[in-house]
Amino acid sequence: MSANGVVFRPLVLLIILVPWPLASDRPLGWAVLGLVVAVLLGVWSLLAAVGTPRTGLAMRPLLFVVVPMLAALAWAAAQLSGLTSTAWASPLWVEAQAVLGGETGAAISVDPDLGWLALMRSVTYAAVFFLAVQLCRRGHRAEAGVRAVALTATAAALWGLGVYATGNSTVLWYDKWAYQQDLTGPFVNRNAFGAYLGLGLLACLAVMLDRLSALPMRRGRAREAAERVLLEALPWLLPIAVLATALLLTHSRGAFLATSLAAAVMLVVAMGSGLLGRWIGGLVILLIFVGAGGLLVSAGDVTLTRLIEQAELEGDRGNLFRLTLNAIAAAPWLGWGHGSFASAFLIYRDLGLPRPVFYDFAHSMPLEMLMDLGIPAAAMMMLSLLSAGVICAIGVVRRQRRQHLPLLGLGVLLLISLHAAVDFPAQNPAVAITFAFLLGLGVAQSFSSQRQLEEDAPISAVGEPGETPPDPPR
């Protein structure tokens, strides 16, 4: 087993376990995830420092991903530290000092305690992305990671369907206290579970596309081709059907639309890049179209009704966005503090939101990011994600093998970006860690194996099975 394999296996185990205990979305879950990922990163860094393993991918190709992300995280830490100029401190600290008559904080952030928790989570997700980039340079590891996500998501979907069919009254061993008409599986929030199912569905789709890409197509043998396509696709069409059914029963409009659009883009790009031939691609689209139609008729009535009858900006959400924009305008450059939305938003809440609901999220991650970090730092974080997407898009075109892996990275980025525009899926640890892992995996496989510096140095005399030669020269 190689040194990278020693770190990779616990990381995959973490990816498998993270959705089950209420999606790890509790303070204890955040702390455990942060600790485990920190240990894995520390072990990998120690091994890399002594040359075992050697770095899987140099930093130069990742500059536009790593540098903007580090800049955004550094600014988040500066907001919370209280070490910045007192002229930058939130006016709330000045008012508090006047009322209390003593020394108070002088941080940019209005709620540093919440901010440090948010920063811990953000650093954890960034570390998972980095580990995935370094550990998934070898193709067999990347393939294993994708299958782990696909099968774990399918298992969560089956669990959710079982609970839904037997009364939908529990979340794990707890009585269900929210979303009692919606399928949520081991999650509490239906929208987060919908996003997680979408990630699993795209992982299954990517594996299916890879299997189909190896099929030869002979002219004049349409029936034989259709049979072979069905035979190769069926092992992954079944979990796709399970995931799609569960996704529809979450009744999450955002997750349904984002997953549908991301899957459609993956299919179009697969055909345009040569991963799928025209005839095979057409047959796959026909199969998916027929299956999707059947699922919509049988399980999609509530979701379709919500799509048709309710607009996203109706009711609270439109006013929530309006007030968030007001808060952004009040502190456009410095922000209100990373993770401080819940506290800062109370200043701007008005009678446009009359319901007795506590808004701890903006229901739009770009808006919340702009409010918390300020425009410059939020732009850096968005640039980092955009750069990762560009790398994956280039990888789909340039790679001669395993094109489905950068294609998956592109697909999951599109899914989360679309859904995050109207909700907060990546605030959920299970969704965020799975997304970071798949995106990092896609970035790692966007570069030819010839760019890898050296083979992992083995810990034992027996190497890992499944090592593959580099891409042939173009």
In whole angstroms, what is the distance from residue 22 CA to residue 36 CA? Answer: 18
- For the stretch 86-124, pLDDT in tens is 889 888 887 877 777 766 667 999 999 999 999 999 999
Element spanning 402, H or E:
none
Half-sphere exposure of 280 (CA within 13 A, CB side): 25
Mean pLDDT of the chain, nearest integer: 86
Largest CA distance in the chain: 87
Whether 12 contacts 144, CB under 8 Å: yes
Q: What is the DSSP-derived secondary structure letter of residue 333?
A: T
Nearest to 392 by CA among 265, 243, 208: 265
pLDDT at 233: 76
Report the alpha-carbon angle 80-44-409, nearest 5: 75
pLDDT at 6: 87
pLDDT at 4: 83
pLDDT at 458: 42
- For the stretch 172-220, pLDDT in tens is 989 999 899 999 999 999 999 999 999 999 999 999 999 888 766 555 5
Report the alpha-carbon angle 234-238-239, nearest 5: 125
- For the stretch 345-382, pLDDT in tens is 999 998 888 888 889 999 999 999 999 999 999 999 99
Point out the least confidently predicted range of 262-276, 427-441, 443-457.
Answer: 443-457
Q: Give SS3 for 171.
A: strand
Whether 380 contacts 69, CB under 8 Å: yes
Instruction: Find out whether the peptide bond into 472 is cis, omega within 30 degrees of 0.
Output: no
- For the stretch 315-356, pLDDT in tens is 688 899 999 999 999 999 999 999 999 999 999 998 888 888
Structure confidence at residue 312 as a pLDDT band (50, 70, 90): low
Q: Give SS3 for 2.
A: strand
Residue with tokens 């506290």: 343
Residue with tokens 């020394």: 103
pLDDT at 351: 85
Percentage of the chain exceeding pLDDT 70:
84
Token code pair at residue 221: 């043998």
Q: Is 358 left (phi over 0), alpha (psi -120 to 50) or beta?
A: beta
| CA 219 to each of CA 278, 286, 287: distance values in angstroms, whole numbers, following the listed order | 12, 19, 20
**pLDDT for 464 beyond 50:** no
pLDDT at 465: 42
pLDDT at 255: 94
**pLDDT for 472 beyond 50:** no
Return all residues near 380 (Cβ < 8 A) that are at least 6 apart. 68, 69, 71, 72, 75
- For the stretch 69-86, pLDDT in tens is 999 999 999 999 988 888
Return all residues near 447 (Cβ < 8 A) that are at least 6 apart. 57, 61, 137, 395
- For the stretch 213-240, pLDDT in tens is 876 655 556 666 667 777 777 789 899 9
Burial 324-350 (b: 16+ CB within 10 A, else e): bbebbeebeebbbbbbbbebbbeeeee
- For the stretch 28-49, pLDDT in tens is 999 999 999 999 999 999 988 8
Return all residues near 79 (Cβ < 8 A) that are at least 6 apart. 107, 108, 109, 115, 334, 335, 337, 338, 373
Percentage of the chain exceeding pLDDT 90:
63
- For the stretch 280-299, pLDDT in tens is 767 677 777 777 777 666 66
